[in-house]
A and B are shown apart, each in its own frame.
Chain A
Amino acid sequence: MGPWRALVATPADTALTAVLALLLGWAGWGIFGWAFGRAQWLVVRANAATLMVGRYPEPQQWRLWLLLGMLVSLAGVSWGLLRGRGAWPRNDRLAVAGLGGATLVLPPLLALGAVNQLRLLLLFALLLLLRWALARWSGHPAVLRFASAWGAVWAVAYLGGLWLIAGGLGLPTVRPADWGGWMFTLLITSLTLLLALPLGVLLALGRRSELPLLRWLSVAYIELIRGAPLITLLFLGQNLVGFLVPGGLAPDRVWRAAAVLTGFAAAYLAEAVRGGLTAVPRGQMEAARSLGLSSALTIRHVLLPQALRVALPAMVGQCIALLQDTTLLSIIGLFDLLGTARSVLANPDWLGRYAEVYLVLAVLYWCSCAALSMGSRALEQRLSISRDRATVPPSTPSPTAA
Chain B
Amino acid sequence: MSELKKIATRLAYGEALREFGADPRIIAMDADLGVSTMSAIFGQAYPERYIDMGIAEANMAGVAAGLATTGKIVLIHSFAMFAPGRMYDQVRNSIVFPRLNVKVVGSHAGVTVGQDGPTHQALEDIALMRALPGMVVLSPCDANETRLALRAMLDYEGPCYMRTGRLAVDQITQDIPGYRFELGKGCTLRDGKDVTIVATGYMVAQALKAADALEQEGVSARVIDIHTIKPLDQELLIAAARETGAIVTAEEHNIIGGLGGAVAELLVENHPVPMERIGVRDTFGRSGDPASLVEYYKLTPADIAQAAKKAISRK
A and B bind: no
